Structure 1
């Protein structure tokens, strides 16, 4: 099919080339041979009157014209996918679609298991792929590489719709045989004890609590142990006089099998507001709408049960 003398099939190739910046990787992504992809690039160069990708050592660099085409081409393909290619109806019992969700380990631990249980009953053929929330999360959503992003509001894109999924409060956790925190956790206790905190790897989004704590107080916690996941923190205070500040659901889950005590924080910590975001062009996609409703339903059920 052609539009204004451009074979629209070439837009798929162009998008892959602009994203991968490699003929071989682009070919693999769209399931074409390398010669066919090279031929398509030649046709694109002829149409745009620009090299688009130029060699620089062992890599390909985008020309300024190619850079200017990234967003328009991606937007055109997303519009086509969300309006023309999308099925008008969604039957969960028969669907075999895959959904990619970007979420923290906390959300994966607390929300996803009951979601999977719900889906197993209503949509057994639906597949779920979990990915960590990184600084590239917004870009993955923008490029259509992820269907949903679950993150605090400050990490969301302003270009796409979102809704509140659930709120979570923070609590403190100590070993049940802590030597001097016995009847209550005071602010002096909190600041004098060593802390177990998150230590996110490169590319991961930072802790909303840590950012708030640093911005709100002139003092800093004495951090003695760090770990890559929120779910790991309660276990790491056992046998010590350290403290971990974690989400309440994480603490309550840990207290069912670990010798830990849960304390109300000696300072007022704002609740974590977890949001659900999806691409604006998928707002009317029946499958996306159905999955949004399932996520919201499960989150509301968990909140009602634990609040």
Structure 2
């Protein structure tokens, strides 16, 4: 870097996003900038560091050795700069224009996310929220460490122990099926459960299995995973005209059973409670804006408790 010049922090932010996206166009979309503006920023960065930093390759832009060397130091500098700004400025969430990214599968009842957004709009109308899906190809632990996402909502039996976490909700595991299903009434045994055809969620983390499969594995039991589904919110609709079962949390099942012809039944296999966590990295633990976001999410979980659909229907 030239010794007689300083790099603008906004340029460093563009550099970090470029290193993650390896694309000028995707960086422009993510930062809500024009492509020419991103290209101009890259040109200024190249001048500052006397290096090409990112060059065209077959699969996108390829970082130089220099870019890979300075990336961790720049990320650390931006974290410190953000923390310093938040420590010195009076905190007023109503004037905040920060953008937050929440990563979560869609296995919480929609009323929860609706309450998060409604509360954010009331308290911080300038804040932008990005809701990002989790999937097996997304390394959420690294994304938290880099600040690419701000918090993760998950329900692993054993979440990563080095991340900060709080419990959002503990819920009973139940079975949901169409009201026409032969198991919707009467006797429902473990043998019935294992013999049935099931909708099974696709794991959203390579390293962390879901509660249902983890518990069945411990019991050395195997169910028929007839349909593997990445979209939890679609599962209730697939039950309406099929003989499938879906094993999920009580609040999720009850929410959809309130307006769809579904039956919710206590599982004949005793599963541990399904615990939903909020996870975040130490880097953002003390930041006032991030504390507000986590508190907002915690408060919004009460919408599940107060919803009539969250109460067990009679006879289940």
Shorter chain as denominator, the TM-score bin is 0.7 to 0.9
Find the counterpart in structure 1 of residue 197 from structure 2: 194
Q: Does 1:7 align with 2:6?
A: yes
Secondary structure at the aligned position of 1:174 is classed as strand
Q: Distance in 2 between matches of 1:96 and 1:27?
A: 19
Find the counterpart in structure 2 of residue 18 from structure 1: 19
Q: Distance in 1 between matches of 2:294 and 2:12?
A: 30
Q: Does 1:38 align with 2:43?
A: yes
Find the counterpart in structure 1 of residue 251 from structure 2: 249
Find the counterpart in structure 1 of residue 234 from structure 2: 232
In the TM superposition, 1:85-234 aligns within 5 A as 88-107=89-108, 109-134=110-135, 135-153=138-156, 160-179=163-182, 182-199=185-202, 208-213=210-215, 215-234=217-236
Q: Distance in 1 between matches of 2:98 and 2:130?
A: 11
Q: Distance in 2 between matches of 1:226 and 1:166?
A: 25
CA distance 1:93–1:172, shift in 2 (3 Å):
same
Q: Does 1:262 align with 2:261?
A: no
CA distance 1:21–1:156, shift in 2 (3 Å):
farther
Consecutive unaligned residues of structure 2, counting only runs of 5 or more, are 312-316
Q: 1:236-280: CA deviations, max 9, x gaps?
A: 223443321111111111221222221111112122222212343
Secondary structure at the aligned position of 1:184 is classed as coil
CA distance 1:6–1:25, shift in 2 (3 Å):
farther
Secondary structure at the aligned position of 1:72 is classed as helix
Give the one of 247, 266, 276 matched to 1:274.
Answer: 276
Secondary structure at the aligned position of 1:111 is classed as helix
Q: Distance in 1 between matches of 2:199 and 2:267?
A: 15
Q: 1:157-207: CA deviations, max 9, x gaps?
A: 555422222223210012223235532320011011211222468x89976
Q: Distance in 2 between matches of 1:27 and 1:240?
A: 45
Q: How many matched pairs? A: 301
CA distance 1:194–1:74, shift in 2 (3 Å):
same
Q: CA deviation at 1:125?
A: 4.1
TM-score normalized with structure 1 length: 0.79
Secondary structure at the aligned position of 1:18 is classed as helix
Find the counterpart in structure 2 of residue 84 from structure 1: 85
Q: CA deviation at 1:76?
A: 1.5
Deviates more, 1:207-216 or 1:288-297: 207-216
Q: CA deviation at 1:208?
A: 0.9
- 8 Å CA contact 2:7, 2:48 repeated in 1: no
RMSD between superposed Cα atoms in Å: 3.6
